[in-house]
Amino acid sequence: MLQANQLSYRIGNRVLLNGVSLQARAGELLAIVGPNGAGKSTLLKLCARELSPASGTLDLQGKPLLRYTSEQLALLRGMLHQQNNMTFPFRVGELVLMGRYPHYGAHPAVADYAIAEVALDLVGMRAFSDRIVSTLSGGEQQRVQLARVLAQVWDVPNALLLLDEPTTGLDLLHQHHMLDIARQMARRGHAVVAVLHDLNMAAQYADQLLMLKSGRREAYGTPRKVLTAPLIERVFGLPVQLLDNPCHQCPLIVPIPNFQAAFSH
Ligand SMILES: Nc1ncnc2c1ncn2[C@@H]1O[C@H](COP(=O)(O)OP(=O)(O)OP(=O)(O)O)[C@@H](O)[C@H]1O
């Protein structure tokens, strides 16, 4: 579906990404993890074609990403951004319907309204349809933005769904609900790539993990393969103990912080 080879990106002399490769496959949820500033969002923006790589190649469904028109791309990939600043007083229903914009001409069809409602239902926000988006809480807005992106790719087989820190601002239930939706979208045949900070959530929901540090790929593979205690300690600078998650077939990471040194002076 999406094949990224040896991507590099720099701003001025600063190298933000250095030779990173990944494959987002239909049916799979790929999580990008790593410390603050590792290059995760930059990588996602390259995959969305919001940025252009300094070197390396990106192919979507076997065709170079560069060769798609913006209209074609809008039909094939949806992106949930880390921050969505709402300048206009849109209502929730209107905003989600905007996700359908690439699909219709002058006016939305009955099917577009129906898909927007399905998406709002999925995120549990249908009752908020008439509310002005900016009056919602941060977590509610995040769920509405997800509904907009879900509506965009809902009926596009093999679409690419890119989610940048989708669980930010969500309570415990909705963090899990968000990642469950992401995984279900993958199971429907989409390729889903999500930037995540919580390694335990990544272990529980992702099929594949890509771990970045300082713009480089540190590890890539299944959660069990990638999430080892020495690697996590080296990449995040935090000792951890790894247990078997008693409820799910994945590792459980228990951080063992020791910050006393910082206060010893
Ligand atoms: N426009 C810019 N100018 C200069 N540096 C930038 C710019 N955009 C990003 N960076 C730097 O590039 C690095 C990678 O940024 P990026 O947002 O991709 O990191 P990230 O892994 O998503 O971080 P976080 O987990 O904090 O969201 C950071 O050090 C950031 O400060």
pLDDT tens per residue, range 198-247: 999 999 999 999 999 999 999 999 999 999 999 999 999 999 999 999 99
36 C-beta closer than 6 A to ligand 1? yes
What is the phi/psi pair of residue 44, to 5°?
A: -65, -40
Mean pLDDT throughout 128-134?
95
- Work out which ligand 1 atom sits closest to the CA atom of 82: 27
Ligand 1 test: best mutation among 18, 33, 40, most atoms within 8 Å of CB?
Answer: 40
Residue 50 Cβ contacting ligand 1 at under 6 Å? no
pLDDT tens digits, one per residue of 175-192? 999 999 999 999 999 999
Percent of the chain exceeding pLDDT 90 equals 91
Residue for token digits 């399905």?
118
| CB of 34 closer than 6 angstroms to any ligand 1 atom | yes
64: β partners: 59
Pairing label, strands 191-195, 29-33: parallel
Give the span between the Cα atoms of 68 and 58, in whole angstroms. 11
The answer to whether the CB of 177 is under 6 A from ligand 1 is no
pTM of the full structure: 0.95
Is the pLDDT score of 66 beyond 80?
yes
- At residue 157 the predicted structure's pLDDT band, cuts being 50, 70 and 90, is confident
The minimum-distance atom of ligand 1 relative to the CA of 215 is 14
Q: Is the CB of 99 under 6 A from ligand 1?
A: no
Instruction: Write the ipTM.
Output: 0.97
Say if residue 83's pLDDT is above 90.
Answer: no
201 φ, ψ to 5°? -65, -40
Ligand 1 atom nearest to CA at 164:
22
C-alpha 207/C-alpha 171 separation (Å) is 23
Nearest C-alpha neighbor of 36 from the set 263, 212, 245, 247: 212
Q: What is the 3-state secondary structure (H, E, C) of the chain?
A: CEEEEEEEEEECCEEEEEEEEEEECCCCEEEEECCCCCCHHHHHHHHHCCCCCCEEEEEECCEEHHHCCHHHHHHHEEEECCCCCCCCCCEHHHHHHHCCHHHCCCCCCHHHHHHHHHHHHHCCCHHHCCCEHHHCCHHHHHHHHHHHHHHHHCCCCCCEEEEECCCCCCCHHHHHHHHHHHHHHHHCCCEEEEECCCHHHHHHHCCEEEEEECCEEEEEECHHHHCCHHHHHHHHCCCEEEEECCCCCCEEEEECCCCHHHHCC
Which residues are paired to 241 by β-bridges?
254
> How far does the centroid of ligand 1 lie from the alpha carbon of residue 37, in Å?
5
Under the banding of pLDDT at 50, 70 and 90, the label for residue 262 is: low
CB 133 within 8 A of CB 140: no
Count of all residues that appear for the chain in the document:
265
**Is 39 a pocket residue for ligand 1 (Cβ < 6 Å)?**
yes
